[in-house]
A and B are shown apart, each in its own frame.
Chain A
Amino acid sequence: MKLRIQYLTVFIITLLGTTFSFAQDDVEVYVADFTDDALRLTMERHVSTFLSQVNESFTAKSDTLTDVSFFLTAYISEFEVLWSSTPFFIPESTIIESVNKLATGRYEMRNIPIYFVDPDGEKHYEEAVIQFTPSGLISEFRIGLAAHRFQEIMNAGEDAIDQANREIILNFVENFRTSYNRKDIEYINTVFSDQALIIVGRVIENTGVESSYQQQVEYLQLTKGEYVDRLRRLFERNEWINVGYEDIGIIRHPKHPAIYGVSLTQYYNSATYSDEGYLFLLIDFAEPEKPLIHVRTWQPKRETPEDEVFQIGDMEIF
């Protein structure tokens, strides 16, 4: 009987051993459906090392990664800012994803599962996007849209050209969102046009005027400079900021094909403040590599009736 238990134990240990053969921090990434074997192996090696290092540094509560040779040199500092403000870890030990080739010649891998952990210990599930240079170096890491949201928006594309434009827009929206996590005021400064129209809704406490909404909203118009100054102060005051987007709608302007209206619901969380609001961005993709925001409006979600949410039809473009 003893012997039988010994056999069984050895066998079960052998079986389990195959399941738990990887260290907990290690992440193995496989690139599916990619014909260039040399580049595939390079990307697999780089992204596996990167994500394993992320887990290792997260566990060690380290401010830096020990090896950054898999990064494009110009991107290292940008990632370090993100890492220091919002550290995260990867909950999967094996990831199998395909990569898309972008119009720029770079490659992109989506749906990398990550968890952000707030200073209070609360975990947020997100999915990241990793971009590679044509030689396989990691050139960007950003917080992506949830896979089903991304697929839903892409499937709504009318044709392959519209789909390509939508991909650019979603890429931009994801970068814009990640810039808040990085508290990257320079990026935000770059993407707003100097003459941008920025409208921020503000809830006014009981005005005495009868309304279906108990509180009413007052709109402030800000210049780009005023808006960027407000953000800078906000970034300084908050140890961390996490922004999430839902209900993303993309509408192409009927007369100006390079101009898109992007409407979304924004969930804003920071160390000191949280809110939910309708965000509308009028983005000019005349130069796809350098999109410019001409209009940004924000309206508090709870206090704004749906028919009063800004949309592309409210904007007259000359």
Chain B
Amino acid sequence: MKVFNRGVKSGLLLLTIIMVSAASLSAQVDERTIKLSGNYLWGEGFGEDRQTAVNNAKRDLIERLQVRIESEANFTERDTNDDYSVELETTTNTLSRMELRGLNYMPAKERRDGSWETIAYITKDDFNTTMDLESDRLLSALKIAIIDENDGRLDVAITQYMELWASTFYSPVPFYTNADDHGIESELRSFLSNKIRNWVNSLAIDVDRVRSLSTAQNSEFYFDLLFSYNEMATSNLEIALNKSGYVAHPIRNGRTSIFYDLAPEERIRSFNFTLSPVIPNSIDQEKAAILDGVLPIREITLDIDFSDVIDINFNIIEESENTFTFVPILKNLSVYSLEWDFGDGETSKETTPTHDFGADFTGSLISLIINSSGDLLEQKQIGEVEKIDNTDNIDELGFVIPPNITSYVENTIRLKDGNSLTKYLNNLSERNILMVGRQSDINNPTLSYLAIINPQDTLVIAILSPVESGMRYNLITNETISNSELRMKFRGLGSVWFQFK
């Protein structure tokens, strides 16, 4: 009986020891539990040595974390998209920097072929805790960035938005924020993406002025541009002319100057620019690499007005009664092509031409045209424009002179003969109703009407309205015509300018 008792006691003791051992064994997670219980996220690593196996296991776990989340979202749709590959690779490389709380490894074991293997694993609860902590960190930083922006520290805020945006790529799970103006919850990465896109796309860009540092041999212009966002000067951007060979200019405190070295062909010319955000130096290389692939780029067209920096002039030297030499006065003469129109049907492309107007010469309008442009020109009159004093025909023509400008203009349209029109306009001039004469006689040619007359048959070809939005309106044919087309269209014809006082 004693023996039996001792035996039972010993048996129970042994049983207890074995049960405790079994319990401690079961506490140590085995491969089957990790892979099949559904409570773990895991990755498998193989290598020629233990360390390589451990490293590969962690990498595999991180890839699986990413794929797991993607498969819960919309994996199949994005599988064929290039963006997906970029995103997956980025996350794979960077998630390892985030501390995965509770990350553990099975002891590495040698395989039959001499290589090593192990499993990296983390419980789903630990993984969720890691993500919650990261989410809290990002959302706190976002609040501070929004305060910075609201307090006018735009550059600081933009830097923060960029950094946070890059950080969201580290995480395989989406984070959410209700920092939207209306408190609506949105995905953090989209929220930050929209912030940056809105900043780039809503920037106001103004041409402050155009400067010329051109010399006789070269053209050198600077476009001083101003940038603002919600009336705050902004930095962290650069802008480049969309032309090969032109470099990007950094924008600092809302200002930059773009260099341009070609002679303009028009007074106002449209240029295409590319505006790109610049990643601040304070952002580390890894995040900068992420941002490099996602930051938006904006294409912009700006009208640059060269009027203030292109001074076209010329001198007229009288060689004899009918012969004159014309000398251009231009700062950087050698970069322009010149064309002279002597007003008598003759033209020249010489730099300083001498022209004989012939024995019947009484006067002519001389034009110096730059770069074949319609509006880069200067005109001067030599000799006299014959003034027509006879206004007796007015009544004979049956006009009742109306009391307002519109009626005067309507009358001019009815006069098909150039001589009659000129007489009519001279009459109005003498009555101090309008200024009449050549372009140079008029205070502001763009506000002036313009009559085009064929010198051969004296017929009126066109009566053009003052310039509106860069266009004149032909009151006879109801066509519109741009300033640049003007000269081409009416080459060799006479013109009378008139402006109501």
Residues on A close to B: CB < 8 A?
Answer: 1, 3-4, 7-8, 11, 15, 30, 32-33, 91, 94, 96, 98, 113, 125, 127, 146-148, 150-152, 155, 158-161
Q: Is the Cβ of B85 less than 8 Å from the Cβ of A33?
A: no
Residues on B close to A: CB < 8 A?
Answer: 3-4, 6-7, 10-11, 14-15, 18, 31-32, 35-36, 45-48, 52-53, 56, 59-60, 64, 82, 84-86, 88-89, 111-113, 115-117
Q: Given A3-B3, A147-B46, A148-B47, does the pair A159, B35 have CB atoms closer than 8 Å?
A: no
Q: Which of B11, B56, B89, B115 contacts A4 (CB 8 A)?
A: B11
Q: Given A148-B53, A159-B89, does the pair A7, B7 have CB atoms closer than 8 Å?
A: yes
Q: Given A146-B113, A146-B115, does the pair A11, B46 have CB atoms closer than 8 Å?
A: no
Q: Which of B11, B47, B113 contacts A8 (CB 8 A)?
A: B11
B contact residues around A8 at 8 Å (CB): 11, 14
> Which residue of the partner chain B has the closest CB to A123?
B112
Q: Is the Cβ of A148 less than 8 Å from the Cβ of B48?
A: yes
Q: Given A1-B3, A3-B7, A161-B82, does the pair A11, B14 have CB atoms closer than 8 Å?
A: yes
Q: Is the Cβ of A151 less than 8 Å from the Cβ of B56?
A: yes
A251 vs chain B, min Cβ distance (A):
19
A24 vs chain B, min Cβ distance (A):
17
Measured CA separation A96–B6 after assembly (Å) = 44
Q: Is the Cβ of A30 less than 8 Å from the Cβ of B36?
A: yes
Q: Is the Cβ of B113 less than 8 Å from the Cβ of A96?
A: no
Q: Is the Cβ of B35 less than 8 Å from the Cβ of A160?
A: no
Measured CA separation A138–B6 after assembly (Å) = 58
A contact residues around B59 at 8 Å (CB): 155
> Which residue of the partner chain A has the closest CB to B47?
A148
Q: Is the Cβ of B32 less than 8 Å from the Cβ of A96?
A: yes
B contact residues around A3 at 8 Å (CB): 3-4, 7
Q: Which of A1, A94, A158, A160 contacts B84 (CB 8 A)?
A: A160
Q: Given A7-B11, A30-B36, does the pair A147, B84 have CB atoms closer than 8 Å?
A: no
A37 vs chain B, min Cβ distance (A):
11
A contact residues around B46 at 8 Å (CB): 146-148, 150-151
Measured CA separation A125–B7 after assembly (Å) = 49
Q: Is the Cβ of B10 less than 8 Å from the Cβ of A160?
A: no
Measured CA separation A199–B362 after assembly (Å) = 93
B16 vs chain A, min Cβ distance (A):
12
Q: Which of B7, B47, B48, B85 contacts A161 (CB 8 A)?
A: B85
Q: Is the Cβ of B115 less than 8 Å from the Cβ of A148?
A: yes
Measured CA separation A195–B374 after assembly (Å) = 65
> Which residue of the partner chain B has the closest CB to A3?
B7
Q: Given A96-B36, A148-B115, does the pair A159, B86 have CB atoms closer than 8 Å?
A: yes
> Which residue of the partner chain A has the closest CB to B88?
A160
A contact residues around B89 at 8 Å (CB): 158-160
Report 11 cross-chain contacts, Cβ distance below 8 Å, ordered by A residue. Answer: A3-B4, A7-B11, A32-B35, A94-B32, A96-B31, A96-B35, A98-B35, A148-B46, A148-B53, A148-B56, A150-B46
Measured CA separation A91–B35 after assembly (Å) = 21
Q: Is the Cβ of B14 less than 8 Å from the Cβ of A125?
A: no
Measured CA separation A134–B117 after assembly (Å) = 29
B contact residues around A161 at 8 Å (CB): 82, 85
Given contacts A1-B7, A146-B46, 16 further A-B contacts (CB under 8 A): A1-B3, A3-B4, A4-B11, A8-B14, A11-B14, A11-B15, A30-B32, A30-B36, A113-B112, A146-B115, A148-B53, A148-B115, A148-B117, A151-B45, A151-B60, A159-B89
A242 vs chain B, min Cβ distance (A):
15
A64 vs chain B, min Cβ distance (A):
27
Q: Given A3-B4, A7-B7, A11-B15, does the pair A125, B113 have CB atoms closer than 8 Å?
A: yes
Measured CA separation A159–B83 after assembly (Å) = 11
B contact residues around A146 at 8 Å (CB): 46, 113, 115
A contact residues around B86 at 8 Å (CB): 159
Q: Is the Cβ of B56 less than 8 Å from the Cβ of A125?
A: no
Most buried by B among A7, A30, A125: A7
Measured CA separation A1–B10 after assembly (Å) = 10
Measured CA separation A158–B45 after assembly (Å) = 19
A159 vs chain B, min Cβ distance (A):
5
Q: Is the Cβ of A4 less than 8 Å from the Cβ of B85?
A: no
Measured CA separation A102–B14 after assembly (Å) = 52
Q: Which of B52, B64, B88, B112 contacts A148 (CB 8 A)?
A: B52
A contact residues around B111 at 8 Å (CB): 147
A90 vs chain B, min Cβ distance (A):
12
A contact residues around B52 at 8 Å (CB): 148
Measured CA separation A147–B32 after assembly (Å) = 19
Measured CA separation A33–B72 after assembly (Å) = 13
A1 vs chain B, min Cβ distance (A):
7
CB-CB nearest 3 A-B residue pairs: A160-B85, A148-B46, A32-B35
> Which residue of the partner chain B has the closest CB to A161?
B85
A contact residues around B32 at 8 Å (CB): 30, 94, 96
A contact residues around B117 at 8 Å (CB): 147-148
Measured CA separation A151–B116 after assembly (Å) = 12
Measured CA separation A1–B56 after assembly (Å) = 54
Q: Given A8-B14, A11-B15, does the pair A147, B115 have CB atoms closer than 8 Å?
A: yes
B82 vs chain A, min Cβ distance (A):
7
> Which residue of the partner chain A has the closest CB to B31?
A96
Measured CA separation A7–B86 after assembly (Å) = 64
A contact residues around B82 at 8 Å (CB): 161
Measured CA separation A148–B117 after assembly (Å) = 8
Measured CA separation A28–B453 after assembly (Å) = 103
B contact residues around A98 at 8 Å (CB): 35
Measured CA separation A257–B115 after assembly (Å) = 33
Measured CA separation A158–B31 after assembly (Å) = 31
B contact residues around A113 at 8 Å (CB): 112
Measured CA separation A3–B5 after assembly (Å) = 11
Q: Is the Cβ of B47 less than 8 Å from the Cβ of A4?
A: no
Measured CA separation A62–B159 after assembly (Å) = 72
Most buried by A among B14, B31, B113: B113
A contact residues around B45 at 8 Å (CB): 151
Q: Given A7-B7, A148-B52, does the pair A33, B35 have CB atoms closer than 8 Å?
A: yes
